[in-house]
A and B are shown apart, each in its own frame.
Chain A
């Protein structure tokens, strides 16, 4: 029997929360307790249940079992509006904003202040004052779609505190920020906490937790493993709590055996963006055999456009793209693919997966234009048989005939990677273009994916790795390019890798001479 908790410092307690989605158990009696005025980290790898648990707290998910205590009293949270009433606010990882509406409209929606007319001016004054107080100033009149990610995050936080919060949940808030922006946010949160706010900080980055949080609750496979004081623990201890065992970092940095043969040359490439402004302007770089070239940048600075221009999905408005010395600037996607240019898209489900078709058919897609023999015919038996090897080698959970949409994100990504590597293996210019290939994956799959990419370079293929994870880039790449507003502002050799310096470049600080 736990009984009502003491009221001294405890603000929130989650008790034995369970939640399942169909056959998957997302939460198994998870729980933890948060004090007033603390920054409490919820740490765990992707899929551990952190977000699900917080979605329960914010009323978005209905728990199958468990109890929520607020200030020592049991609280019933069945709907988001209950959470709002209990002064709980959540900043979602993928912001819950309405892009065409203005920042102000996004902040006040649901609490417009009057039943009929929107009184924008009056509301704007209040919101602006609130923003100024906490240092979240943004252009309230601008449509959210026109704001950068850091500003969008400010709008999300404003939205929460505008409703009045005692508990503010932030889901992986630093992933969209540069190191400098992340520091600023954490400082602000510290100030707010010192005024009594409780912050729940979801993260999978241990150093953030150790550096900025008071306590941390570690989650693993839907359970809470334990809560520790940040000052009284170590990185290694937290890792073991998160993973449950020692997992060595397997993806060692690639051996630097770069040879002079150029696989890809991007020469002065410009791509038109929205509203006439170039999304990519005068990009110039090349990738040699055996080389992993990283591209760093805050999301939305032209990464997608540049990648799609290289792959052939987007028209180039200026410049040239060469594959193995051949000009492919206007060549169709399929023909580039035939040369060995493989693409692992960022949007796995949108750009990569055929959800209702089988694993075998998904592995065959793209490769089907390269496979010799067969000509026009399509032999399901042969295609199923051909899928056996990749399903085994990539440890894909499922069989050749499982519809891809039934698999988890990590397994879908394995299928896409198997396919990409098969494409690269078919051509004479093996080059893998990977856009955020490990986003949202658990540690094991992440390591697996990284190892695959390193293997490509070991086999003298090239890798163009576009990632918003700086650690990943610094670990895998031989060189890092920095993209800012569509321009490549730096080309750094591995000796010059420095997270803060790259962070500076990502936000537009001019490259040092």
Chain B
């Protein structure tokens, strides 16, 4: 392949559009996790929660045909899982990493179980209609950017819009100030009369809803079908996106785009080259993730109370 062909490939607007399409679930799940972590609750069960959401969304869509219903059902399911995590982490003050991992396993199993229970064993994989692309009038015609940004499905627009909203909320509002404080020093927040527990439960719930939407996105906007590996590590990558973004929504978006680009590129490469085995290309995003990881932690300062349960009456 010549150098110019490579450049053409790397800058292909279709590739970039796919990138943004694939970035959306990472953004949604990443923002959900970010809200939780900013409040001090670590949720490593994202992968399992997304799996459950994907299964529930797909099955609801298949049975009812309503997109909103499918998304809502998925979000309700992950809200439930998030509340379980919150109960363990906030009320019972368990080790959050351990509980999160168990929820990951639980979710992985539950998603598969739900699908089999409803669908049974079939030879033909049932499918649903995926979300249509919505071209934004006027903007869609802008060269490059029009294709990349403005001919996406509705959830991509939503994910992108949530980034500045959340950033504003964190920095410019009282609620954001308190949320940040809960993750840094919950006792300080408690001594000024703010209910740390309620705040953290709230953050966990919001996080759960967003992670649910991210999981629902996969069958509803990408595959149109469910399979057991559908999440494919995106839950874990969402966790990395938060660290990559230094717990800032804007930078988390950048991280999501970076991971999504390698994913989209792998799709593209599989189409244009036959020389490399497809499995090697499929490894690409994961290998890139490890390479990124090496630098990921340098200078990263997580919220100081992240993962630590707060107990008012603990003696210091």
Verify whether A and B have any Cβ pair under 8 Å.
Answer: yes
Interface residues of chain A, those whose CB is within 8 Å of chain B, are 21, 26, 52, 58, 60-62, 79-81, 84, 90, 92, 94, 96-101, 105-106, 109-112, 114-118, 159, 163
If the complex has contacts A62-B313, A96-B185, A159-B192, are A116 and B173 also in contact, measured as CB distance less than 8 A? yes
Interface residues of chain B, those whose CB is within 8 Å of chain A, are 172-178, 180-181, 184-185, 187-194, 304, 312-313, 315-316
* Residues of chain B with a CB closer than 8 A to A98's CB: 180-181, 184-185, 188-189
Q: Can you spell out 9 A-B residue pairs with CB atoms less than 8 angstroms apart?
A: A21-B313, A26-B315, A52-B315, A60-B312, A80-B192, A84-B193, A100-B184, A116-B174, A118-B176
* Residues of chain B with a CB closer than 8 A to A117's CB: 172-174
- Where chain B touches its partner, the secondary structure class is helix
Minimum CB distance partner of A61 in chain B = B313
If the complex has contacts A98-B180, A101-B180, are A80 and B172 also in contact, measured as CB distance less than 8 A? no
Minimum CB distance partner of A85 in chain B = B193
Question: Shortest distance in angstroms between A455's beta carbon and chain B's nearest beta carbon?
Answer: 31
How many A-B Cβ pairs are below 8 Å?
A: 76
The distance in angstroms between the C-alpha atoms of A489 and B193, with both chains bound, is 44
Question: Shortest distance in angstroms between B301's beta carbon and chain A's nearest beta carbon?
Answer: 8
The distance in angstroms between the C-alpha atoms of A163 and B190, with both chains bound, is 14
Cβ-neighbour of A92 out of B189, B191, B312 (below 8 A): B191
* Residues of chain B with a CB closer than 8 A to A58's CB: 191
Given contacts A101-B184, A117-B173, 7 further A-B contacts (CB under 8 A): A60-B191, A60-B312, A80-B191, A81-B193, A100-B180, A118-B174, A159-B192
* Residues of chain B with a CB closer than 8 A to A100's CB: 180, 184
Question: Shortest distance in angstroms between B54's beta carbon and chain A's nearest beta carbon?
Answer: 35
Check A96–B191 contact: CB distance below 8 A: yes
The distance in angstroms between the C-alpha atoms of A96 and B302, with both chains bound, is 19
Check A110–B184 contact: CB distance below 8 A: no
Check B181–A60 contact: CB distance below 8 A: no
* Residues of chain A with a CB closer than 8 A to B190's CB: 60, 80
The distance in angstroms between the C-alpha atoms of A193 and B193, with both chains bound, is 25
Check B180–A110 contact: CB distance below 8 A: no
Check B177–A118 contact: CB distance below 8 A: yes
Check A105–B177 contact: CB distance below 8 A: yes
Minimum CB distance partner of B187 in chain A = A96
The distance in angstroms between the C-alpha atoms of A94 and B194, with both chains bound, is 19
Question: Shortest distance in angstroms between B275's beta carbon and chain A's nearest beta carbon?
Answer: 47
The 4 closest A-B pairs by CB, nearest first: A81-B193, A110-B192, A96-B188, A112-B174
If the complex has contacts A79-B193, A159-B192, are A109 and B177 also in contact, measured as CB distance less than 8 A? yes
Question: Shortest distance in angstroms between A439's beta carbon and chain B's nearest beta carbon?
Answer: 13
* Residues of chain A with a CB closer than 8 A to B312's CB: 60-61
| Listed residue (A62, A81, A159) with the most chain B CB atoms within 10 angstroms of its CB | A81
Check A109–B181 contact: CB distance below 8 A: yes
Cβ-neighbour of B315 out of A21, A97, A159 (below 8 A): A21
Check B172–A118 contact: CB distance below 8 A: yes
* Residues of chain A with a CB closer than 8 A to B184's CB: 98-101
The distance in angstroms between the C-alpha atoms of A101 and B304, with both chains bound, is 12
If the complex has contacts A109-B178, A112-B177, A118-B177, are A97 and B185 also in contact, measured as CB distance less than 8 A? yes
Check B185–A111 contact: CB distance below 8 A: no
Question: Shortest distance in angstroms between B3's beta carbon and chain A's nearest beta carbon?
Answer: 40
The distance in angstroms between the C-alpha atoms of A159 and B174, with both chains bound, is 16
* Residues of chain A with a CB closer than 8 A to B173's CB: 116-118
